Amino acid sequence: MQFGIFTVGDVTPDPTNGTTPSEHDRIKAMVRIAQKVEEVGLDVFAMGEHHNPPFVPSSPTTMLGYIAARTEKILLSTATTLITTNDPVKIAEDYAMLQHLADGRVDLMMGRGNTGPVYPWFGQDIRNGIALAIENYSLLHKLWREDVVDWKGRFRTPLQSFTATPRPLDGVPPFVWHGSIRSPEIAEQAAFYGDGFFANHIFWPKEHTQKMIALYRERYAHYGHGTAEQAIVGLGGQVFMRKNSQDAVREFRPYFNEAPVYGHGPSMEDFTRETPLTVGSPQQVIDRTLGFRDYVGDYQRQLFLMDHAGLPLKTVLEQLDLLGEEVVPVLRKEFEVNRPADVPDAPTHESLVAAAAAKVSA
């Protein structure tokens, strides 16, 4: 399994002292967090894409290219690439370039985002959200796999004898995850292409996540990519830890109460009971995370949200130390217990190249 961090890159006041980082400071903090992810032995750093305050990650390829030059091992991913409002031609070329610069340490998570006004900002209509996601990804998929593309669709100008450059590294496109909170159409899309499906797993109870992943697994098998158990599944999650659980609850409460994404709503106790949010000791995080397998089956990627709600960089780095030293080593070991031999590992560039070579020689 792969373990890592995803960030939404929010610029939020620290509710304990009222200080707000500058955009410059927040961007630099994200770079430091990515470096720390590698230092503590995690596998993945992923970042979202937003085009509105209070978020700063408007250009994931710029950020991830910068991080690629300052890391050696971690896989660099997007927590959302807006397939609805980005031109698929630009996505194809930008991420192929990033793939070359990072020596293959790149994959993407397609998504529609959760900010309605972004659609007209980029000349689109939110009422076409699903249709845009389907058509744009169909074109992106083709651009990465065919050297010369002729194409005509509903939402952009036609292409005639077009070649996206550079071509994917080693002739193998970056692996794609399709991320969703609530849209079964996106689970269907992921299954159709044999791509990965990433459940947001932040805001909803486990029963909702269970249904979405069960649908994806069923349709993955229907399209002949393998058994349902061999489908490629990723989960989000969010945690805050201290050695003593009472300290974690006391320290995180003001951040929870004022967080842009869930503050001023349910109590922290209700939210932790009804969603995967875990606030407590490292052992509590281990126990809760291991329980995810009970309702989604064996899966390939677990990403945690840890740097949001105004938490200071120093605190986030301390959280990453706990995650890397006390939590993930146990999770790696325990998730391997009773894992069927035919459940695939998380895809990497190396594994995709090997699979492509094997297919050619078969």
Domains of the chain in start order, with CATH, are 2-361 (3.20.20.30)
304: enclosing H helix or E strand: strand 301-304
| Per-residue model confidence (pLDDT) at position 290 | 97
| Per-residue model confidence (pLDDT) at position 114 | 67
The Cα-based distances of 343 to 111, 142, 336, 338, 348 in angstroms read 25, 28, 10, 11, 15
SS3 238: strand
Q: β-pairing, 149-151 with 159-162?
A: antiparallel
Cα dihedral sign, 312-316-317-319:
positive
| Per-residue model confidence (pLDDT) at position 254 | 95
| Per-residue model confidence (pLDDT) at position 31 | 98
| Per-residue model confidence (pLDDT) at position 261 | 74
Token reading at 230 = 């061999």
Burial class (CB in 10 A: 0-12, 13-18, 19+), 116: exposed
List per-residue pLDDT tens for the chain, 362 residues long.
999 999 999 999 999 999 999 999 999 999 999 999 999 999 999 999 989 889 999 999 999 999 999 999 999 999 989 999 999 999 999 999 999 999 999 999 998 876 778 888 888 888 898 999 999 999 999 999 999 999 999 999 999 999 999 999 999 999 999 998 778 999 999 999 999 999 988 888 899 999 999 999 999 999 999 999 999 999 999 999 999 999 999 999 999 998 877 778 899 999 999 999 999 999 999 999 999 999 999 999 999 999 999 999 999 999 999 999 999 999 999 999 989 999 999 999 999 999 999 988 87
Cα separation, 216 vs 183, whole angstroms: 11
| Structural contact between residues 71 and 38, judged by C-beta atoms closer than 8 angstroms | yes
Q: What b/e sequence results for 284-309 when a residue is b if at least 16 CB atoms lie within 10 Å of its CB, and e otherwise?
A: bbbebbeebeeebbbbbbbbbbbbbb
| Per-residue model confidence (pLDDT) at position 258 | 86
- The single-letter code of the amino acid at 273 is R
Query: Quick one: DSSP state of residue 326?
Result: I
Task: Choose among 335, 252, 321: nearest CA to 39.
Answer: 321
